[in-house]
Amino acid sequence: MKVLNYMEDLVITRTNELYNEVKEMDAPWLNCDCEHCRLDTISYALNRLPPRYIVSGRGFIHNTVDQDSQLKADIDTLVIEGMHTINTTQRPYHGTSKEKTNAQTGPYFNFPTFIGSILDGTTFEPLSDVEIILKQDNVKSEMVDYTWANPYISSKLTKGTYSFLVKSEEAEKENISKVFVFTLEAKKEGYEGITYNFSIPLISEATAKVESKSTYSLKIQNLFMFEEGSTN
C-alpha cells in the first residue's frame, strides 16, 4: 500500500502544460522555460498548496480533480504566479543542477515539512496576508533551498495554510537523538500577533535530505488570531 500526495502529480502535469502553452504563444515575459525553471515553478506551487493524500492510482487522481473546478483554478493561478516569479527573479544559481546538492553526506538531522493553518479566532475562517516566521533560538530558521519562503505569507488560495522545510543540521554522528525547539510568530494588520512554540525529537541520519517528502511531515495545531480590541 502506498500513500500519495496527489497534488504533486497534478502540479507537475499542469506546470509543463502551461509552460508549453505560454511558449507557443511567444509571450514576451517568458525568458526561460528550461527544466530548472520548471522545477522551481513546481516547487513554488507545491509549497503553497495543502497536500491531499490518497491510496490509489493515477486514474482516480484525475477523476477527482476533474470534479473540483476550484482546485484546478487554484493550481493554474499558483503555477502562473510561480512562472512570473521565477522569470523575474535574478538567480545566480540558474542553470545549477539540483543533483549536486543531493550528494550531501552526513551525518545530519533531517526535518519534516512543517504544515499548519492560521484561522480567525472568532469566525474560524482561514486568514490570508498573515506573515508567519519560523525561528530557532530567536533566529530565523534557514530553509532547505530558495523555493521555501521564511517568512511565509498566507493567501486565500492556500486557505490559511503555511509550510516550512528547514535545512538539515549537521550531527556529530549517526543515530544520535536531539530535541529541536521552534517558534512560530504570526502577525497581520488589524490582528493581535501570536507566538507558538513546539518541539520535535530527531535521530541523525547518514545523508541530508534536500527535498520535501509528502509522507514525512509534521502537522502543527491550528493557530487562531483575534482582531485587535476583540474579547478572546
pLDDT, tens only, 129-169: 999 999 999 999 998 876 678 998 887 777 788 888 899 99
Domain of residue 74 covers 4-96
C-alpha cell at 213: 517528502
User: Using an 8 Å Cβ cutoff, are 68 and 22 in contact?
Assistant: no
Question: What integer pLDDT is reported at residue 7 of this predicted model?
Answer: 86
Would you say residue 231 lies in a domain? no
- 188 in the same domain as 110: yes
Same domain, residue pair 90 and 107: no
Q: Return the pLDDT at 148.
A: 78
Question: In sequence order, which residues have a C-beta less than 8 Å from that of residue 220 and are 6 or more positions away?
Answer: 114, 115, 116, 184, 196, 198
Say what the pLDDT of residue 209 is: 79
pLDDT for 94 equals 58
pLDDT at res. 59: 47
84 φ/ψ sector (left φ>0, alpha ψ -120 to 50, else beta) = alpha
Q: What confidence score (pLDDT) does residue 95 get? A: 52
Q: What is the pLDDT of residue 99?
A: 45
> Do residues 68 and 127 both lie within one domain?
no
Given 72, 96, 120, which residue is the final one in a domain? 96
The pLDDT value recorded for residue 222 is 94
State which residues of the chain have pLDDT below 50. 57-63, 90, 96-101, 103
- Verify that 86 and 109 share a domain, yes or no: no
User: Do residue 195 and residue 220 come from a single domain?
Assistant: yes
pLDDT at 26: 82
